[in-house]
Amino acid sequence: MSADPVNTRDRPTLRRLAAVPAGCRGLTEPLIEWLIRICGWSAILFVAAIFFFVLREAAPMLFGKLDLVEFFTSTDWQPTSEVRQRYGILALLVGTLHVSLLAMAIAVPLGLGAAVYISEFSRGRTRETLKITIELLAAIPSIVWGFIAYMVLGPLIIRVTGAPVGVNLFNGSVVLALMSVPIIVSVGEDALKAVPDAYREAALAMGASRWEVIVRVLFPAAKNGLLAAVLLGIGRAIGETMAVLMATGHAVLIPRSLFDPVRTLTATIASELGEAVKGGDHYRVLFVIGLVLFAVTFVVNFVADVVVKGVGSERRA
């Protein structure tokens, strides 16, 4: 038991430890170690189990009669047709990418800007108020965002732009951006705060302006954390379901303008899976879409990983 990190001067702890019979402590320690180990492994276990379940439901269609070329290149989504069922997800895929990219184009500058302001410029009460308010923003349920999109933003877009539909690509992107901003801000702010003050002091001492300190010193030093912030934001955008279902208009269409309605992969699963005949072709194709979403998330994470490592090795060289 020599490895036990017990501070011998900490008398209350020593007394407490002494009160527990040695046999019990001998049992408790490995037990807790195992509990923590299980917690760690459970994440992998759950992901693997979910992937297995989705694959099992999708497999008969995926390796069976689903024409993968048609699946990825056709915009014809008629899964319940009485004439001929057609499963083309191109429009849904394009819709998901459009909404996510546009949402990020709004959310990343806004989120990182807010993170920089909170971490580097604001002080005292302003800072605390901002932090609490932004955390509150993160706690708003997605159905409420959807409702705002539907009832407030939609009619407003019609009135201001004269677009025929208020629930559209722009509406969906704005709502998703507002939903991911709080995540980007809080994770980004933590990353900036983690940069030691010595970096800032050294840069300022060498005559750098505050702008130069932020762009040349803080951003490179905190890049992993900032990238994590952006990735979590993208994750929220791609995975979001209820709010986009209500805000995008849910129309199978390749958008030609910012104000055309679109449909996302997630919203399609959400709205159609409930009533699809269990075990039927439509049901299984919706699970294949689930696999596509898995793949998209995996690629995003993988690319981010490569980018982080790539930038790191460049700097070392």
Partner 1 sequence: MGGARRHPEGGQVVSCAALAMGLVAVFLAGCGGYLSQADGTPRVMIRVEGSDTMVNIAQAWAEEYHRQQPGVVVQVLGGGSGVGIASLIDGNCDMANSSRQMKPEEIADTQSSRGSRAVEHVVGFDAMGIYVHPTNPITGISIPELAAIFVEHPAITRWSQLGVTMPVGVPDTIIRVSRQNSSGTYSYFREHVLGKGYDMGLGSLDANGSKDAVALVSRTPCAIGYSGMGYATPGVKMVPVARQVGQPWIEPSVENAKSGAYPITRPLLIYTVGDPVGAVGAYMQWIMAEDGQEIVRQLGYVPVK
Q: Which of 98, 200, 236, 263 binds partner 1 (CB under 8 A)?
A: 263
**Among 58, 252, 265, 289, interactor with partner 1 by CB under 8 A:** 252
Tell me the one-letter amino acid at 302: F
80 sits near partner 1 (criterion: CB under 8 A) = yes
Residue list 23-42, contact with partner 1 (CB under 8 A): 23
Options 1, 7, 82, 139; binder of partner 1; rule CB under 8 A = 82
Distance CA 187, CA 63 (A): 41
Interface with partner 1 (CB under 8 A), residue from 122, 224, 271, 297: 271
Span 282-311, contacts to partner 1 by CB under 8 A: 282
What's the 3-state SS for 155-213? HHHHHHHCCCCCCCHHHHHHHHHHHHHHHHHHHHHHHHHCCCHHHHHHHHHCCCCHHHH
| CA–CA gap between residue 256 and residue 193 (Å, rounded) | 42
- Identify which of residues 94 and 300 has a Cβ nearer to partner 1 in the complex: 94
Compare residues 184 and 246 and give the one whose CB is closer to partner 1: 246
Contact, 236 vs 179, CB < 8 A?
yes
Expressed in angstroms, the distance from the first to the final Cα of the chain is 44
Backbone φ/ψ region at 207: left (φ over 0), alpha (ψ -120 to 50), beta: left
State which of residues 66, 158, 221, 308 lies at the interface with partner 1 (CB under 8 A). Answer: 158
Please identify which residue in 261, 264, 266, 289 interacts with partner 1, judged by CB under 8 A: 261
User: Could you give the C-alpha distances from 104 to 101, 159, 229, 231, in angstroms and in order?
Assistant: 5, 25, 12, 10
CA atoms of 265 and 218, how far apart (whole Å): 37
Taking CB under 8 A as the binding criterion, the range among 111-119, 120-128, 130-138, 154-162 that sits at the site for partner 1 is: 154-162
Q: Tell whether residue 257 is a contact of partner 1 (CB under 8 A).
A: no
Instruction: Provide the binding-site residues for partner 1, judged by CB under 8 A.
Output: 23, 75-83, 91, 150-151, 154-155, 158, 162-167, 245-246, 249-253, 261, 263, 270-272, 274-278, 280, 282
